[in-house]
């Protein structure tokens, strides 16, 4: 089955710096890659997702890139702000097959001002 590895497990940056979180997946058939943000004590919420027919997607300060050949995808946050501090999870699935969404173990991002 699918396995998703996420790195780093913790990341500390200064406000205004960029942050990059990387994930690798094992199943080459996976075609949907979402990123969820979970603030302390809250539920996970989708912040951006990408499908395998797209190499990059941007939404304001966040972007996701996908390299299908290498089977990895990354979350990029530019101009980080203290409110970006949270746990970020990547995930992978095969949408058409109805397979489970497999999550990485999460990255705790701390943005200090």
Partner 1 sequence: EAQVTQNPRYLITVTGKKLTVTCSQNMNHEYMSWYRQDPGLGLRQIYYSMNVEVTDKGDVPEGYKVSRKEKRNFPLILESPSPNQTSLYFCASSFGLDEQFFGPGTRLTVL
CA neighbours closer than 13 Å in the CB half-sphere of residue 104: 30
- Pick 43 or 69: Cβ nearer partner 1: 43
User: 4: exposed, middle or buried (C-beta count within 10 Å: 0-12, 13-18, 19+)?
Assistant: buried
The binder of partner 1 chosen from 12, 18, 28, 45 (CB under 8 A): 45
Among 22, 52, 102, 110, binds partner 1 (CB under 8 A): 102
Rg (CA), the chain: 14
Cα–Cα distance list, 31 to 36, 65, 66, 98, 108 (Å): 17, 13, 10, 11, 25
The least distance separating partner 1 from the CB of residue 113, rounded to whole angstroms, comes to 26
**By the rule CB under 8 A, 105 interacts with partner 1:** yes
Q: Can residue 63 be called a binding residue for partner 1 (CB under 8 A)?
A: no
Nearest distance from residue 104's CB to partner 1, in Å?
Answer: 6
Contact 46, 36 (CB under 8 A): yes
Size of the site for partner 1 (CB under 8 A): 23
Residues 14-43 that bind partner 1 (CB under 8 A): 32, 34, 43
Taking the complex as a whole, the smallest distance from the CB of residue 50 to partner 1 amounts, in Å, to: 11
> What would the two tokens of residue 23 be?
């994930």
């Amino acid at each position: 089955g699918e396995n998703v590895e996420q790195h780093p497990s913790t990341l500390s940056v200064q406000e205004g710096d960029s942050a990059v979180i990387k994930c690798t997946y094992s199943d080459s058939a996976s075609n949907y890659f979402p990123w969820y943000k979970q603030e302390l004590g809250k539920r996970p919420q989708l912040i951006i997702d990408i499908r395998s027919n797209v190499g990059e997607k941007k939404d304001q300060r966040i972007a996701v890139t996908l390299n299908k050949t290498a089977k990895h995808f990354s979350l990029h946050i530019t101009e980080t702000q203290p409110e970006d501090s949270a746990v970020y999870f990547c995930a992978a699935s095969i949408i058409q097959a109805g397979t489970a969404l497999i999550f990485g173990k999460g990255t705790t991002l701390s943005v200090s001002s």
